[in-house]
A and B are shown apart, each in its own frame.
Chain A
Amino acid sequence: MSGGTVHPKQAAHPKVAFPKVELSSRGKAIRRTILDIVHKSGASHIGSSMSMVEILSAIYENMDLDKIRIQAPDRDRLLVSKGHSAAAVYAAMHEFGLMDRPLLETYYKNDSLLSGHVSHWVPLIEHSTGALGHGLPVGVGIAIGLKAKKFLSSRVFVVLGDGETHEGSNWEAMMYAGHRQLNNLCVLVDNNGIGGVGFTDAVCNVQNLENMIASFGFETFSVDGHDEEGLRKLLEKTKGTTSRPVGIVCHTIKGKGVSFMENDGNWHYRSPNQEAREKALVELA
């Protein structure tokens, strides 16, 4: 795959056309933080982080953060199964007051708790992820446990990558979540269309993700993954109003917000140098 080009299969992707939504000031702020910590540490996965900013914002908006701060047993849970987007998670936590700046600044540095993949050793993180296909089974377990404990208003949010849906464990978990009608489980797929080596659909086609998830008994939605307000409203709307688990395919753009990173798979691994950082900052001002 060459940088910036669109694979023929990608071009043929019958994506829903969403009206263009301007990035919010919060969306830009989180992206500036991601850019900052990834640049300073020479870390990778900036493209995967930029694509899921609005997904994280909408989820954090939706959760009772006070319960998370005190780790209340009936708190909502967020599991970011695409753990390589740790920079986005930590930047969003900082934005929502769940991580202080000094800790954030240690990202990916020697002796830091903040590795390049999401870690439970970081305060207020539910579960370590990194190997793909792990978050959803754990989320299903939490959802079952919360129901058994009669914490009926608590929800479990699990964020997957579209490439990650190649892992079979996700489908074991979805099959069981649908079977048990876990309506306290909400799975959001950051469908940015690009994996580690190429366009996801060219590697192994998941164009039909909405129908695939729906076929396992989920109430499924297809949305613009960069429309934070729309996502937030959808999460509110689906709370306690359905008898099925919720699946939201969030159509996103890898590297969203920085024109020269957008839809370019090279930014899966590449770290922005000083010049790239300055150019990106202009766009995120």
Chain B
Amino acid sequence: MRTVFFESLKSRMRTDENLFIVVADMGLGLIEPFEKEFPDRIINVGIAEQNMAGICAGLYNAGYRPICYTISNFLVERCFEQLRNDVCLHDYPVTFVGTSTGFDNGGLGPTHHIVDDIGCVKALPGLRIYSPSTVTAMRMAYDDIMSTDQPAYLRIGKGAYDLKINATTLNHFVTDHPESDVLVITHGNILENIVKGLDGVKRASVFCMTRIKPLPVEQVTALFHRFKTIVVVEDHFAGSGLYDSLCHFAIENQLVQSRLLSLAPPDAYSDRAGDKNYFSEKYGLAPAQIKKYIEFLPPSPQ
């Protein structure tokens, strides 16, 4: 997904001379072509995320539209106050592009588990948050970001998972079975496990919430009206992730007649190493576990 993002960015930079890339010593093999083609519009500030975010604010002041890039949690957590004060307070359209999500870096340990980043940044007014599950959704997300003049956080997982679906909207169904009484709403890389697990399971439809903030009000309201059981599956803490956002949404919009459930890692940092599949199994997010969870759900309330 990273490779596709940078390829699409390269095309945009050829036509939009105000785009400017800032990286914090990340992007080996990705940024070198930019340094050749756009030497005046790419900088590597070193391992200095506070400086990176502040520089982006300054570049916007000077007339550029910056995109900054590093590992997701360093990108938004290390320099949270710079995001708050230098970017969001000023409503500067800086695009924060984070690589890796969930347990993409599971073996590297809990400092590299990206399970709380959305919760950190959704507190910030005006910041748009995107967590695409497929290459197609990632492209749509970046189009959406560039169609506005607001700050944005785009978190892109490792791998290049894609589906041949005819999605016309940023937030979209991946599977939509007319007879289903359960809706799985997800974001990010975990979609792959969901699609594998629910292959042939007609009970549940699957919906990708590519844009987590702002939520599309009419679209989400319609989902709550149609499905009386909604399960949010995410490789992010539920208490500050999409589940939390949808709970808030349901209460605010008087949609609490739906049963809203969560499948997510527990609210704790892991003391164990392990790859993505290890953590999926550990937290009930492996394909077979998701299938079992859905199949054993009691009937939806009428």
Task: Give bound CA distance, A120 to B58, whole Å.
Answer: 13
Evaluate contact between B61 and A137: CB separation under 8 angstroms. no
Task: Give bound CA distance, A148 to B20, whole Å.
Answer: 10
Q: Which residue of B lies closest to A139 (CB)?
A: B58
Partner of A148, one of B57, B64, B86: B64
Interface stretch of the complex, out of B41-49, B152-160, B202-210, B221-229: B41-49
Task: Give bound CA distance, A33 to B111, whole Å.
Answer: 51
Evaluate contact between B90 and A140: CB separation under 8 angstroms. no
Q: Which residue of A lies closest to B51 (CB)?
A: A172
Distance (Å) between the CB of B114 and the closest chain A CB?
23
Evaluate contact between B46 and A176: CB separation under 8 angstroms. yes
Given contacts A141-B61, A148-B41, A176-B46, contact A134 B54 (CB under 8 A): yes
Interface stretch of the complex, out of A125-133, A210-218, A277-285: A125-133
Instruction: Count A/B pairs, Cβ under 8 Å.
Output: 99
* A42 lies within 8 A of chain B by Cβ: no
Evaluate contact between A176 and B20: CB separation under 8 angstroms. no
Task: Give bound CA distance, A149 to B85, whole Å.
Answer: 25
Q: Return chain B residues, CB-CB under 8 Å to A139.
A: 58
Distance (Å) between the CB of B174 and the closest chain A CB?
39
Task: Give bound CA distance, A129 to B81, whole Å.
Answer: 11
Q: Return chain A residues, CB-CB under 8 Å to B41.
A: 148
* A194 lies within 8 A of chain B by Cβ: no
Question: Considering the complex, which residues of chain A in the window 126-176 have a beta carbon less than 8 Å from any beta carbon of chain B?
Answer: 126-131, 133-134, 136-146, 148-149, 168-169, 172-173, 175-176
Evaluate contact between B64 and A131: CB separation under 8 angstroms. no
Q: Which residue of B lies closest to A137 (CB)?
A: B54
Partner of A172, one of B40, B48, B63: B48
Chain B facing A: main interface SS: helix
Distance (Å) between the CB of B13 and the closest chain A CB?
13
Evaluate contact between A169 and B54: CB separation under 8 angstroms. yes
Task: Give bound CA distance, A140 to B64, whole Å.
Answer: 14
Given contacts A137-B55, A141-B55, contact A146 B85 (CB under 8 A): no
Q: Which residue of A lies closest to B46 (CB)?
A: A176
Which of B40, B58, B64, B89: most chain A CB closer than 10 A?
A: B58
Q: Return chain A residues, CB-CB under 8 Å to B60.
A: 141
Partner of B81, one of A131, A136, A143: A131
Chain B count of residues within 8 A CB distance of the other chain: 29
Task: Give bound CA distance, A133 to B53, whole Å.
Answer: 12
Task: Give bound CA distance, A134 to B59, whole Å.
Answer: 14
Task: Give bound CA distance, A137 to B43, whole Å.
Answer: 14
Q: Return chain A residues, CB-CB under 8 Å to B105.
A: none
Evaluate contact between B59 and A142: CB separation under 8 angstroms. yes
Distance (Å) between the CB of B85 and the closest chain A CB?
6
Distance (Å) between the CB of B99 and the closest chain A CB?
21
Distance (Å) between the CB of A25 and the closest chain B CB?
34
* B62 lies within 8 A of chain A by Cβ: yes
Evaluate contact between A140 and B55: CB separation under 8 angstroms. yes
Distance (Å) between the CB of A158 and the closest chain B CB?
10
Evaluate contact between B63 and A145: CB separation under 8 angstroms. yes
Task: Give bound CA distance, A144 to B53, whole Å.
Answer: 14
Task: Give bound CA distance, A73 to B55, whole Å.
Answer: 17
Given contacts A134-B86, A137-B51, A148-B20, contact A127 B61 (CB under 8 A): yes
* B50 lies within 8 A of chain A by Cβ: yes
Q: Return chain B residues, CB-CB under 8 Å to A131.
A: 81, 85
Using a CB–CB distance below 8 Å, which chain A residues touch chain B? 73, 77, 120, 126-131, 133-134, 136-146, 148-149, 168-169, 172-173, 175-176
Q: Which 8 A-B pairs have the closest CB atoms?
A: A141-B58, A137-B54, A145-B62, A141-B55, A172-B51, A172-B48, A142-B58, A169-B50
13 contacts between A and B (CB under 8 A): A127-B61, A128-B90, A133-B50, A137-B57, A142-B58, A144-B55, A144-B58, A144-B59, A169-B82, A172-B51, A173-B51, A173-B55, A176-B51
